[in-house]
Amino acid sequence: MKKSCKMKMQEIEPEAEPLSMFGYIMKFLPIALSLVVCLMSAGYIFIRIINAKRHNERWADYDECGII
C-alpha cells in the first residue's frame, strides 16, 4: 500500500524544470523595476526638499521688506 501512495504523490507533483535565462529575467524584472521606481520617487522628494530649502534661504532676507 505504501508503494501506491508514493506513486500517486509522484504523479501529483511533477518535477520542476530548471529555469532558463528568460525565466530568471522574468522573475527579476518586476523586482528591479519596483526598486527603480522607489529610488526615483525618493530622489524626486529629496530634490524637491533641497530646492524648497534653497528658495526659502534665498528669499528669507526679503520677508520683512514686504516684497513677497
11 assigned to some structural domain: no
The reply to whether 41 falls in a domain is yes
Residue 54 falls inside a structural domain = yes
C-beta of residue 19 within 8 angstroms of C-beta of residue 27: yes
Is residue 24 assigned to a domain? yes
pLDDT exceeds 90 at position 13: no
pLDDT beyond 60 at 9: no
Range of the domain at 31: 19-68
Residue 63 placed within a domain: yes
State pLDDT tens for residues 30-54.
Answer: 999 999 999 999 999 999 999 999 9
- The count of structural domains within the chain is 1
The answer to the question of residue 1 being in a domain is no
In this structure, is residue 6 part of a structural domain?
A: no
Indicate the Cα dihedral angle 43, 49, 51, 56, nearest 10°. Answer: 180
DSSP state of 16: P
Residue 8 forms part of a structural domain? no
- pTM passes above 0.75: no
Distance CA 50, CA 42 (A): 12
CA distance 32 to 38: 10
Place of cell 520617487: 41
